[in-house]
Structure 1
């Protein structure tokens, strides 16, 4: 069992805390044993002295008997105080001076604990005086002297027994707690881990989603959260799998359709030279429709590749690029069937030079401006598209805003997601998704600042401090 496992750490903590608890129990236990030991010596000394006092006055006890009485009591001297008279009842030579005096009548738990620890740690054999109250009121006090060596030996033996007993209890307690933890805590956790491992091997299999049934509240909450996450992930994987299959099918269809439409476009161009006025009038509309269809196929194919070349950075005049785009959109607007007119307002200094991939930025701004123009034309009202740009020490900032009807909530929720962010009939929803990818490729970001009844405004942020070594530079 490793200490790095939850089981090992739980067992180590159990042993540690139980050992600390036993340590706090050991000191009071040894202190109480010391008090009982000294009290017993006082009682034995009192019995020995009373036996001597009960003898006839004209009879003296022999030295051997006195020594035997002192040896049985485990003391050197016995002094009784009766009727305010202090009397040395039993005595023998002391092996040394009295090192300390302890009055059991004034002893406290704290004092007794300190004295017990001191006597256990002090390995010298000393003589101490102990004072106590005689039992059964047989005098005012009793005083004895004794050696600390037998006391220390008895305390050590008692402490060792307590430690051995404590060690057994600690091991038993740790074993029981460990078994309980294994059963009640670790087993449910291992079940969650096992479900996670099984699910990671086959996340598409809904049978592997965990069913929350733990009795522990916290573990059940974890299982519930895991089940929710697994269900969401499984659904997302199935959705992505279906979209991947659909994307491959659309890409194949778009490839073949583009070839067909390209051929049709060539023939449609020749219709403008027809002698029939109706045909000549309808030809531009047919060409525009076929052109849009070809562009849709090419856009779908480009997105289906899921890759864009790294930006080729170069310095160029931003105003010239925007003028080029607005001129093309103006021609498309004038050549269409829109009822209202679209005015373009460009607020960009002719001296503003930026560093970016010109072709990719052309695609980004063309998409934003074309979407704005089509939104205004679809509303049937006239409107304005404003393109502005500023620069800071860190970024170039380009804003494209319009006075159109604004985007509905559904479009704002899925704005930069392919096939979902479009609101225009016939739109693919790829334009903004591709534009956002191109801007991210520059290290920047494309944001929707606002979209309400007053219009829509996008912001393109291109960092000036982008690391040149990350891109191809002309």
Structure 2
């Protein structure tokens, strides 16, 4: 039959289990998770300017392509292009119409199907940081079925080019870019978190764990000199804490040793008191018998002997009690 553990053994097991910190609740795990969260938060804050810059660059690239096509068409005769050729040009750019403004006069060069309305106007030359970020988020979250009018100068040309285009191609490109940035950000976060975790674990968590183990071991056997922590030669707060802990353990061990010595001394005094009382009690019995002896010499010394024994008993009771 298996033995049923006693109450003390169950208490010791519960205490030992309470002293063991699970990995999920340890300082190292919390530090690792916090580092990942903070790095991801920083990446999110950096992502907004990135996605705004990517959106603006993508639109500039399309507008530059449209400008190159426009220059060719202006030098030639746009009306001579067939409908199929115009559709091919616009399909290659991903636009619905291309126009050029020169000297305040706007000229429609190529058009496939003019949309009934335009949802957003983007002036490439005057897009601020806040406007660019809000526009990028708007396209990324709610775009895909909108019509954009993108216009602005290209290069050193004094002409202003204009492009009418849907935003689904732009949104798809932004989604792919966001996915790549998110993947790279996650890798950077994990790598940074591991580096920070390793550094702080070596500098802080490791010494704290050592001090914790030392305190637990010292509490189990405070009279063992080998359980006193050996402080490292550090000049920072961890080094100060280790030295103070070592000195505190030494003082506590010395105090416990003195208390044990006093307890042993008290036990010895108590034993001496007990033995002394027994001896004096026997002497009193013998002195009482001496009173019954008729010898004059004995009768003369018996009272003195009794008084001496009484003083010895009183002294023993007063001092050794």
Answer yes or no: same fold by TM over 0.5: yes
* Structure 1 position 117 matched with structure 2 position 137: yes
- Which stretch of the first structure deviates more once superposed, 160-169 or 244-253? 244-253
Q: Could you tell me how far 1:231 is from its partner in structure 2?
A: 0.6
Match of 2:50 in 1: 29
Q: Which has the higher contact order (CA 8 A, sep 6+)?
A: 2
Q: Deviations over 1:72-124 (max 9, x none)?
A: 33221122211222211222213542112122222111111111111111154
Contact in 1 for aligned 2:277/2:313 (Cα 8 Å) = no
Question: Higher strand share goes to which structure?
Answer: 1
* Structure 1 position 243 matched with structure 2 position 265: no
* Structure 1 position 290 matched with structure 2 position 312: yes
Q: TM-score, normalised by structure 2?
A: 0.80
**After the TM superposition, which residues 189-200 of structure 1 pair with which residues of structure 2 at under 5 Å, given as runs?**
189-200=208-219
Contact in 2 for aligned 1:3/1:12 (Cα 8 Å) = no
CA distance in structure 2 between the aligned counterparts of 1:117 and 1:80, rounded to whole angstroms? 29
Contact in 2 for aligned 1:264/1:290 (Cα 8 Å) = no
- Aligned residue among 235, 243, 248 for 1:224: 243
1:33 to 1:219, Cα distance in 2 relative to 1, 3 A: same
Q: Deviations over 1:149-201 (max 9, x none)?
A: 10100110111110111111111112222222332222222322333344334
**After the TM superposition, which residues 95-114 of structure 1 pair with which residues of structure 2 at under 5 Å, given as runs?**
95-114=115-134
* Structure 1 position 38 matched with structure 2 position 59: yes
- Aligned partner of residue 75 in structure 1, secondary structure: coil
- Aligned partner of residue 125 in structure 1, secondary structure: coil
CA distance in structure 1 between the aligned counterparts of 2:234 and 2:275, rounded to whole angstroms? 60
Q: Deviations over 1:33-80 (max 9, x none)?
A: 0000111111111111100011269x8233333223222332211222
* Structure 1 position 83 matched with structure 2 position 103: yes
Match of 2:28 in 1: 7
- Aligned residue among 176, 188, 191 for 1:172: 191
Corresponding residue pairs, total: 292
Match of 1:410 in 2: none
Contact in 1 for aligned 2:94/2:165 (Cα 8 Å) = yes
Computed over aligned residues only, the root mean square deviation of the Cα atoms, in angstroms, reads: 3.0
The list of structure 1 runs, each at least 4 consecutive aligned residues, that deviate by more than 4 angstroms after superposition, is: 262-268, 278-288
CA distance in structure 2 between the aligned counterparts of 1:180 and 1:214, rounded to whole angstroms? 18
Structure 1 stretches lacking a partner, 5+ long:
301-474
1:100 to 1:123, Cα distance in 2 relative to 1, 3 A: closer
1:95 to 1:79, Cα distance in 2 relative to 1, 3 A: closer
Structure 2 stretches lacking a partner, 5+ long:
1-21
- Aligned partner of residue 292 in structure 1, secondary structure: helix
Contact in 2 for aligned 1:96/1:126 (Cα 8 Å) = no
CA distance in structure 2 between the aligned counterparts of 1:282 and 1:174, rounded to whole angstroms? 92
1:121 to 1:20, Cα distance in 2 relative to 1, 3 A: same
**After the TM superposition, which residues 54-453 of structure 1 pair with which residues of structure 2 at under 5 Å, given as runs?**
54-55=75-76, 60-139=80-159, 141-213=160-232, 215=234, 217-262=236-281, 267=287, 289-290=311-312, 292-296=314-318, 300=321
1:7 to 1:280, Cα distance in 2 relative to 1, 3 A: same
CA distance in structure 2 between the aligned counterparts of 1:199 and 1:10, rounded to whole angstroms? 28
CA distance in structure 1 between the aligned counterparts of 2:125 and 2:201, rounded to whole angstroms? 52
